[in-house]
Structure 1
Amino acid sequence: MTLQNLLDRFDLLMDTPESVPKLRQFILQVAIQGHLSERNPNDTPAEVLLEQIQHEKQQLYDAGEIRKPKTVADVDESDKAFAVPRFWTWTRLNKIALGLRYGYTASAKEKEEGVRFLRITDIQDNSVEWTEVPSCDIGDDEIEKYRIREGDLLVARTGGTIGKTFLMPKVPVEAVCASYLIRIRPSPQVSSSFVKRYLESPLYWRQLSEASSGTGQPNVNSTALRELAVPLPPLEEQQRIVEAVGQLMDECDALEEQQEREHALQVQAGTAATEALQSADDAETLRPAWERVRGHFDTVTATPEGVDALRQTILQLAVQGRLTERDPDDTPADVLLEEIQQEKQRLYDAGEIRKPGNYSQPDADERLLELPSSWQWTRIGSICLESLYGPRYNKEEYVEEGTPTIRTTDMTERGEINLQDPPRIDVEEEELAKHRVLEGDLLVTRSGSIGTMAVFRHDYEAIPSAYLIRFRFPSQVIPEFVRAYLNSTYGQDLLGLSENSTAQPNVNGTSIKEMQFPLPSVEEQQRIVDTIDHLLSFCDDLEDLLSETGEHGEQLLEAALTDVSVDQQNGAPTGVTA
């Protein structure tokens, strides 16, 4: 397969978000290996170019225009990642640059006049909005040292963009760069655009990674940059490479836009179908909405967003009572409520719980939907025995052996608890009796990963951490059903956690107990929970299938990239011209 054939057929390999970025990296790698450009015997060989650059640097040093050039070792055979084409040579970045310098250390000043102080955060999407760049105080004798100009390359040496490079276009103002940037000034006899492409290539990132000394973070400092091994072509060929890469990156842009459009259409189609299902008010509108989802099921579940929307639809329909049948032998919800109030009073009289609060029934205008006739609107406080915040402990109170504390990180997406090396407390029996979690307790996170919930279904001793709220329910309430409601669109809206919510998240014991709640019989609660578990397991399988398909797509892409053929005579892929 030729590179051009790969590009022509690339739509068949665009199954994952990483496909186009991988193609970009492949293009950069073959470019710096000389596979995208032709050799021209009239070009000035790179060895001669290096001699000219060294002569130029010596002249500039003698004239006092640059600092004394740093000495770096020649590239030995072990540093040569591949054999370079004829007229090329291996060299170090330091040998093709007039100098590398850390940026200026100063405080940014928000004023309209003065020398501009370019920071990492001022570089967005490979461009600079100079009217937004602050200024700094810098002496006249320092400006020339730190000045940035067209053709300079700025490398971030810290932060989230560490190692990334920005090629300075024309600089319309007097400016210096901040100290978290390293300025590379290539010789005029080298194409800054070619060096920029090299500094985006897999070879560059691999060398930075190898210099990281096991830290996992690229090692970006002036020494590491100076010693980078660079495959250097003649200047004329550098320009041909830059042009060829630019054309191929334009094609990548088009492929990426196509991928984004197709993904957006898939998400839009899937969301429209599930939203129609969620908004169906009665059986007459529910039936065609379901037929629409069933008829376009592949589209609905073609993306992770589509599977998430299906999960939310399942929860919403479940708490509406639309996924289960009524059973006349079930205990009606109003009778259930009376039993719960009697149970709460009995436990209070026995001194086992605090005095129950009084919660009014939701008014008609508070009711979020029309419930089945055997259900009842109530409030979570009316069906909850008690709520309790997890205790807070000082650092010195934690021990190696003791009662484990449950954290948000111990909660799974499916609402289960799986302890992961939890902190432990040596807690007195009286305090343990007060705070311990019992089987069936619902734990809700009130800070950090706010709104994360799980039901405790274990027989070991444990207590909730300080950022959790423990809710305990009587036997007439299935806590997994409460969790399903709180995770549904209705519950998320009331908690202020939905994407469309305009209110601040309101996750605390008082506000949750005031929330209106649709109560079915305990038997139907169990049927709903069982149905949800079954359908969400199916969604998990769909998500796994998407992941496997993505991995398979990546394998196909890797195989296709490996299979791209090159003409060994001049290094140019068949069908690709510079």
Structure 2
Amino acid sequence: MDIKYFPITFITEKSDIENQISNSVVFAELFKTNQTTNLKYYLESTQYGYTASALPGGTHKLVRITDIKANGVDWDSVPFCNCENDKKFLLKKNDILITRTGGTVGKSFIVKDCPEKSVYASYLIRLRLNEKAKIDFINMFLNSYLFWNQIFDLKSGAAIPNVNAEKLKEIKIPLCTLEEQVEILSNKLFFEKKNRVNILYNLSYQNSIELNNQSEIIKNLRQAFLREAMQGKLVNNETSDGKTGVDLLLEIQTEKEKLIKEKKIKKSKPLPPISDDEIPFEIPENWTWCRLGELIDLVSGASFSSNSFAKNEGVKCIKITNAGVNEFIETDEYLPKDFLEKYTSNVVYHNDLILALTRPYISKGLKISKCPLSYDRSLLNQRVAALRVNNRLNNDFVFFVMKSDFILNIYKSKFKGIGQQPNLKNDDVNFLTFPLPPLDIQNRIVSKLNELMKHCDDLERSVIESQNYNEQLLQQVLREALEGKDEVENENLKLVAEDSPMYSVSKDIQKNCDTGDMAILAGYIIKKLSTQNSKDFGRVKLQKMLHLVEYHCQLSSELKYQKNVAGPHAWELEHVIEPKLKSLRFFEIKKDKFGATSKVTYTPLSASNELTSLFNREFKDQAESINNLLNKFQDKTWEFCERISTMYAVWNNRLIRKELFTDEILKQDFLAWDDKKKRFIDVLDHTLEWIRKEKIEPVGFGEYIDKK
């Protein structure tokens, strides 16, 4: 039998899936060693359920599909029905109920206990076993992929999945005596094989969880870029002509007034002024806050009769089903061509923004998209709106703002706790507060966001490819394992932190360092690196070099590194090591402030001349490897050191925890370290290449670096 793993929508708990896989191993072996029979061999009878409406009171309890939960049936909440002839439908202990239709087709439930007068609804089939079967043996089979693969075959091609009693009875099952069934249920058979297959599943599961986390990181990264753009922090806000957002708004208003006077457009109702409470964040001085309705024309949809629609030709129609999250979903819905002349106020053009008014957002975000060229001059159906952006604005800038969590959260807050489906009115769109920069800055922002979003798209594409590959790999290894192959070749699901030519792990400590040793090491690093670029050398660079030297050269010290904005950071440097540098007369340490930033400088004192000899004496066995590492950073800036140190840390963290990773995962870990790391997004590939080229890959040494 061809056995395939596939996700079952109503089996989602990891432990339940592991149980299904373990059961599958057992029955895969039994199909090879035992004769095959049909399920009816073990059945006394099958019976469809009773057709009746649920009532608050009646003669019998009526258990339905919806009453069967993962932890059983709460009989107190099961409704009643009136059943005069109940002989065929009465339930008793160890009856098995199987759903025969709907999204849970094939799901089984063993009746352990029930009220004396209990029957079951018509969408269920009751199996009653004969003396040849142990209930737990049949239950094990009904919860294995050997059963599900046959159910899947039965329901394939059906518009509404369903299984009837006759088909159920013909399902193939191994022929086992009662004695064999008892031995199978002892859980002693095929233990090693079950364990091996579950290990493979768990590796794939860990990989899947990690990839899902990476998808969430990318989603958050997109929103971080949008937040910076909306707050005027993404690009330079200077303009060549000195124009402001207020100037732009006045131009739009003047143009509208002119068109109203010329009777080319109708005067719209005035929009309320923006209160201080509606302003969520500060924007640059040359921007302004306005209402979205001042920048767009809102096109409403018409109510078309269902008889008007066709599937093949005519004018395309945009319905609420076309309104996706950030993407337009194309369908085959057409209206008569002459409707274009009849419904002129409902015509939509290429690049109009399409917004769902009913259920405007889902878990993925706001249902806002751009009308594609293929839908130019289409007609808009009811419960969808088109936002036609004023031609003095950058259409994509407005689209980016509408895609941001700023807009989504306004709507979520508005409809929070209403207990009904959200429905937007025109005012809910027109009254939105909107940050408006001059056109030059809009263009600059759109150009930068397009560049950044492309990076996110590339990362996301890589994650999706990995997810698809992981799924294919899981299919392969489970099929091979269930079909009885002793060894499953699957390097992609191995833990990369296990010994391999590419990723060796080393925990050996080369030297235990006290605070005196670390002061000498810190002083030596300052002396060696600050001579090349004294203006660039400060505490940030020293922190990163200490981290890299300690972890890469495998030194053990009292420095406790934690996540900080600029990378790995040890509190002890400033509060323990630097005081020693001063007391030992190695360096004078001074902190200068420059506005919001500061810089620490190290000025050599008399004893600094002794640092080289002290270093060579205290680190005589490690001096060569430390110098080799420091030489690679002689001409590097503090930002370069920050970048290498942070990438080294996220890579090393994964080795320490023996976690799966790829280059894309490392890059996403880097970006997730801190929001300010996204300024390095363009150079992350170079960062990984440089680490490999210089042969300073981490080896899993040291402590895991995490937040405080």
Q: TM-score when scaled to structure 1?
A: 0.71
Question: Which has the greater radius of gyration?
Answer: 2
Report the 3-state secondary structure (helix = DSSP H, G, I; strand = E; otherwise coil) of the residue aligned with 1:518: strand
The amino acid that maps onto 1:28 is N
Match of 1:380 among 285, 292, 300: 292
**Residue 318 (1) aligns with residue 234 (2):** no
Pick closer, same or farther for the CA change 1:310–1:166 going to 2, 3 Å.
same
Cα deviations by residue, 1:190-212 (Å, 9 ceiling, x for unpaired):
11111122223333233334444
Q: How does 1:330-349 map to 2 (within 5 A)?
A: 331-349=243-261
User: Which whole-Å CA distance do the structure 2 matches of 1:478 and 1:309 have between them?
Assistant: 24
Percent of aligned positions that are identical:
28
Q: Partner of 1:272 in structure 2?
A: none
User: Which whole-Å CA distance do the structure 2 matches of 1:246 and 1:377 have between them?
Assistant: 71
Report the 3-state secondary structure (helix = DSSP H, G, I; strand = E; otherwise coil) of the residue aligned with 1:190: coil
User: Which whole-Å CA distance do the structure 2 matches of 1:245 and 1:135 have between them?
Assistant: 44
Pick closer, same or farther for the CA change 1:262–1:354 going to 2, 3 Å.
same
Q: What is the RMSD computed on CA atoms of the aligned residues?
A: 3.7
Q: Partner of 2:446 in structure 1?
A: 529
Cα deviations by residue, 1:449-469 (Å, 9 ceiling, x for unpaired):
555222336384322222321
- How much has 1:563 moved relative to structure 2? 4.6
Q: Is the CA contact 1:27–1:245 (under 8 Å) kept in the aligned structure 2?
A: no
Q: Partner of 1:354 in structure 2?
A: 266
Following TM superposition, the consecutive aligned residue runs of length 4 or more in structure 1 with deviations greater than 6 angstroms are: 17-22, 245-264, 565-568
Q: Is the CA contact 1:149–1:168 (under 8 Å) kept in the aligned structure 2?
A: yes
- How much has 1:339 moved relative to structure 2? 0.4
Cα deviations by residue, 1:414-433 (Å, 9 ceiling, x for unpaired):
44x46433323323564354
**Residue 145 (1) aligns with residue 88 (2):** yes
Q: Partner of 1:181 in structure 2?
A: 124
Q: Is the CA contact 2:26–2:189 (under 8 Å) kept in the aligned structure 1?
A: no
Q: Partner of 1:462 in structure 2?
A: 378
User: Which whole-Å CA distance do the structure 2 matches of 1:555 and 1:19 have between them?
Assistant: 19
Q: Is the CA contact 1:496–1:502 (under 8 Å) kept in the aligned structure 2?
A: no
- How much has 1:263 moved relative to structure 2? 8.4
Pick closer, same or farther for the CA change 1:229–1:406 going to 2, 3 Å.
same
User: Which whole-Å CA distance do the structure 2 matches of 1:567 and 1:223 have between them?
Assistant: 31
Q: Is the CA contact 2:18–2:198 (under 8 Å) kept in the aligned structure 1?
A: no
Match of 1:368 among 280, 301, 304: 280
Match of 1:490 among 406, 412, 415: 406
**Residue 122 (1) aligns with residue 67 (2):** yes
Pick closer, same or farther for the CA change 1:558–1:476 going to 2, 3 Å.
same
Report the 3-state secondary structure (helix = DSSP H, G, I; strand = E; otherwise coil) of the residue aligned with 1:444: strand
Q: Partner of 1:68 in structure 2?
A: none
Q: Partner of 1:208 in structure 2?
A: 151
- How much has 1:259 moved relative to structure 2? 9.4
User: Which whole-Å CA distance do the structure 1 matches of 2:174 and 2:324 have between them?
Assistant: 49
The amino acid that maps onto 1:115 is H
Pick closer, same or farther for the CA change 1:542–1:117 going to 2, 3 Å.
same
User: Which whole-Å CA distance do the structure 2 matches of 1:567 and 1:555 have between them?
Assistant: 19
Report the 3-state secondary structure (helix = DSSP H, G, I; strand = E; otherwise coil) of the residue aligned with 2:249: helix
Pick closer, same or farther for the CA change 1:101–1:341 going to 2, 3 Å.
same
User: Which whole-Å CA distance do the structure 2 matches of 1:116 and 1:18 have between them?
Assistant: 30
User: Which whole-Å CA distance do the structure 2 matches of 1:368 and 1:502 have between them?
Assistant: 22
User: What 5-or-longer segments of structure 2 have no aligned partner?
Assistant: 1-11, 486-708
Q: How does 1:89-168 map to 2 (within 5 A)?
A: 89-111=35-57, 114-139=59-84, 142-168=85-111
Q: Partner of 2:574 in structure 1?
A: none
User: Which whole-Å CA distance do the structure 2 matches of 1:246 and 1:105 have between them?
Assistant: 43
- How much has 1:125 moved relative to structure 2? 0.5
Q: TM-score when scaled to structure 2?
A: 0.59
- How much has 1:397 moved relative to structure 2? 3.0
User: What 5-or-longer segments of structure 1 have no aligned partner?
Assistant: 1-16, 36-81, 267-298, 569-578
Cα deviations by residue, 1:326-364 (Å, 9 ceiling, x for unpaired):
123252011111101001112222222211332233122
Q: Partner of 2:28 in structure 1?
A: 33
User: Which whole-Å CA distance do the structure 2 matches of 1:19 and 1:131 have between them?
Assistant: 29
- How much has 1:122 moved relative to structure 2? 0.9
Query: For this pair of structures, how many residues does the alignment match?
Result: 464
Q: Partner of 1:169 in structure 2?
A: 112
User: Which whole-Å CA distance do the structure 2 matches of 1:424 and 1:234 have between them?
Assistant: 66
User: Which whole-Å CA distance do the structure 1 matches of 2:51 and 2:44 have between them?
Assistant: 22
- How much has 1:506 moved relative to structure 2? 4.8
Q: Is the CA contact 1:126–1:166 (under 8 Å) kept in the aligned structure 2?
A: no
Higher relative contact order (CA 8 A, sep 6+): 1
